A = this chain, B = another copy of it.
Amino acid sequence: MPATPAVPDGKRPTLADVAARAGVSTALASIVMRGTKGAGAATRERVLEAAREIGYRPDARARLLRSHRSQLLGVQFGLQHPFHSDLLESIYAAAEPAGYQIALSAVAAGRGEQRAVETLLADRCEALILLGPQVPAARLAELAGQLPVVSVARRLRPSIPGLEVVRTADDEGARQAVDHLVALGHRDIAHIDGGRAPGAADRRRGYRTAMNRHGLSEHIRVLAGGLTEEDGAAAARGLSEARPRPTAVLAFNDRCATGVLDIFLRSGVAVPGDISVVGFDDSHLARLAHIDLTTVGQDISRLAGLAVSRAVARLEGDKDPAGEHVIAPRLVVRGTTASPH
């Protein structure tokens, strides 16, 4: 119960204050606070007691300045991506047991990725985990030359030395969705794509090759979409007037699919009666009882876990050729898909 503001003068209590109060050297106090061995049981207790009494809190910055290891993983994320929020949740959970702290840096309106990374570097992070980075590959290569970098959810073609890529097999996910729809009896399956969003190209390709493999080449139809409900809605408006109307739609992601569902609902197109809809991500949205969307799930906790463990492995001297870690997606069948007719 440190009701009083610690040390007499207004300043924050320091390790020296603790040491003085316990009657030991600051070096020993440091040993005790870190929990390393080298201190007697009695003294240890005395120091901890003193620290508690004056409300001592170690200064992270001084600590990191001195010790060469900072045990910090810098994570860059986008404020407007719920998917990133979910990843962060799991990243925190994975970093903790590995003994690492997380430093966050958001990409926001007036704050690009360049700025976000700058601050992480200035904070002396040991490794960088970038969620869906958009910076040019050259910049990533430059960064990877300085410290371990993990790119999550963005594919990168020529494997850059020192750069780890963790992503979902997006093409495989699209394939699973198409297979599922074909198995239900669908032939006329359209895809609303994600434009230039990370993963969009792979999903598009996965859709195309799966359609070809099923001999449905002439039914291939890719509509310009995007990653918001709005984008899905726009595409769906065009679709509900199209003749022949496809009997199934694979949307770029769940938000996009939700927009599609909404437009169909309003224009009297029954789902899954008249048309089936599949999303991508298995977000909270898809799980909602009243949306109940069939979707391709990304294994978020595995993505996050792998991102953290790769970064840590790198830091602890792993010299592996480093490369790409692709995680299999898993189709989650819910209520928006059924046999046509």
Contacts and interface: CB of A to CB of B under 8 A. Distances in A.
How many copies of this kind of chain does the complex include? 2
A5 B265 contact: no
Contacts of A288: 228-230, 233, 259
Chain A contact residues: helix, strand, loop or mixed? helix
A319 interface: no
Interface in A50-87: 57-62, 64-65, 79-80, 82, 85-86
Contacts of A93: 108-110
Chain A interface size band reads: 35 or more
B110 A92 contact: yes
Contacts of A58: 122
A316 B36 CA distance: 40
Contacts of A80: 85, 89
22 contacts: A5-B145, A5-B146, A60-B61, A60-B124, A61-B64, A65-B65, A79-B89, A80-B89, A82-B82, A89-B109, A92-B108, A92-B109, A92-B110, A92-B111, A93-B109, A96-B110, A96-B111, A229-B285, A229-B288, A229-B290, A259-B288, A265-B266
Interface of A: 3, 5, 57-62, 64-65, 79-80, 82, 85-86, 88-89, 92-93, 96, 101, 104-106, 108-111, 118-119, 121-124, 142, 145-146, 228-230, 233, 259, 262-263, 265-266, 285, 288-291
